[in-house]
A and B are shown apart, each in its own frame.
Chain A
Amino acid sequence: MAPEKLQLPLPFEQIMQRHEREIMRYLLRVSGNGADAADLFQETWLRAYRAYPRLEPGSEIRPWLYAIAVNLCRNRARDGVRRARVIVAQEEKNPAVDRMIKGHRGFSENEGYAAVRLRELIASLPPKQREALQFRYFAGMDFADIAAAMECSEQGARANVSQAIRKIKLAW
């Protein structure tokens, strides 16, 4: 019998060291605040650890990690909407905030307001387009990785990103 070569999966510790910074950066940019990002960060790595034995050896780790992170973000967004609905039902809707959100079109030359406006537009996109856009611009992934993380084709990933950009530009 030919001597067999032992091929072990990467120790999880190494995966964490290699990817924790980019995952944190991505979560910060998606969630927009440190507390949420820290929670999501912890959940992401816990889930990744539990799911790691199921990851086939030799498959790409980065899109797999982002897929876990984006799932958690999606869940959190859904829970957040639920929570927000309750709050809105209890309190009166604040007209001043509405005016503020709708009224800053004229300030688009100002970077700060433009960023706020852009955040809103991103938030209003359909989930797939939003996630693809965030993978592309927040995580800096290429289309092959985005496709792997979202379990779609590369063309699909490309289309989602360009649709997202087009919609944002139209609404701008």
Chain B
Amino acid sequence: MLMKIEKLMGSIGGEFEGHGIDALLRSSRRRVDHALKHVRRPDAAVGIVKSPLGDLLVAMTGRGIVLNHYLLGGDDLAATIAKLRFELDLVEDRRTIKEVGEEIRRYIGGEAAALRRNIDLTLAVSPFQKKVLHKLQEVPRGTVVSYQALGAAAGAPKGARAVGNAMHNNPVPIYVPCHRVIASDGRIGGYGGGAARKLQLLRSEGFALADAALRLPDNVVWGHKGTKIYCRANCRTAARVDRSRILFFAGAREARQAGMRPCKICQPA
């Protein structure tokens, strides 16, 4: 009796075996594919990149680099992947990712135009962050802005703290140059990958910074975006200038490249 019931259990639904199930499977599979189209997460190639700045987890969608994450060790990698899975369907692709590593290596080596890849800001957490990151891309190599000035440029003159948050959550550091944002009094400030990496990046962009520097060096000049005049750090006009409209340059040369003229009071080189 026992055998019989169990045999019978096995035979239930037996009528569906054979090529009937194949046809059903094909048509159902089409339905699933169609339905999935509406909820699909974008595909992304991911890989780990070795760079002079340490190991990076890089992800690329069809539109460009979507994540460039400093791996901080411990379970950081697993945690980042776990979070990323909610936004993207991940596929390992070492070749594509390696090219990104190569660009970063050349950039740190001093090749100004090495970072050629497009950027995909899908992972930006808010419209404000997206706006700030877009504005930040206009800040060229050899230049830094303050959190305050960047906030003003993005339409939030009192949003220095918010800009700080936006930088902290920058999904694509190096490519979106959040290392070029500093405190408005000239202090270097923090960095998601650690302050040492920020210094390393700024040094590679022409700023004469010591290993543990906390402030911009003395030969830095600042320029006003309105008057197009650049000054020494200690110029006496500094006290009355609108700080939300100034940029810092690694040197006088960079300032002149940006179309500015030297101040007649402090007479920078």
A109-132 vs B, CB cutoff 8 Å, 1 = contact: the mask equals 001001100110000000000000
Complex Cα spacing A46 to B90, Å: 18
User: A114 contacts which of B8, B20, B47, B55 (Cβ < 8 Å)?
Assistant: B8
Residues of A within 8 A of B5 (CB): 118, 165, 168-169, 172
Given contacts A53-B85, A118-B9, A168-B5, contact A4 B71 (CB under 8 A): yes
Which segment, of B22-30, B157-165, B211-219, B229-237, faces chain A?
A: B22-30
Residues of B within 8 A of A12 (CB): 89
User: B35 contacts which of A21, A46, A169, A172 (Cβ < 8 Å)?
Assistant: A46
Which segment, of A24-32, A71-79, A146-154, faces chain B?
A: A24-32
How many B residues, CB 8 Å from partner? Answer: 44
Determine how close the nearest CB of chain A comes to the CB of B116; give it in whole angstroms.
Answer: 24
B73 at the interface (CB under 8 A from A): yes
B36 at the interface (CB under 8 A from A): yes
Q: Which residue of A lies closest to B9 (CB)?
A: A137
Complex Cα spacing A109 to B267, Å: 109
User: A38 contacts which of B27, B46, B50, B73 (Cβ < 8 Å)?
Assistant: B27
B226 at the interface (CB under 8 A from A): no
Residues of A within 8 A of B102 (CB): none
Interface residue ranges of A83-119 to B (CB < 8 Å): 111, 114-115, 118-119
Contact status B24-A29, CB under 8 Å = no
Contact status B13-A138, CB under 8 Å = yes
A20 at the interface (CB under 8 A from B): yes
B32 at the interface (CB under 8 A from A): yes
Determine how close the nearest CB of chain A comes to the CB of B36; give it in whole angstroms.
Answer: 6
Determine how close the nearest CB of chain A comes to the CB of B230; give it in whole angstroms.
Answer: 41
Given A12-B89, A28-B24, A42-B31; 17 other pairs, CB 8 A cutoff? A1-B54, A1-B73, A8-B46, A8-B81, A8-B90, A11-B91, A24-B21, A38-B24, A41-B28, A53-B86, A115-B12, A119-B12, A137-B10, A137-B12, A138-B12, A169-B1, A169-B2
**16 contacts across the A-B interface (CB closer than 8 A):** A3-B48, A7-B78, A8-B81, A8-B90, A16-B32, A24-B25, A25-B16, A25-B17, A38-B27, A46-B39, A111-B8, A115-B11, A137-B12, A138-B13, A165-B6, A168-B5
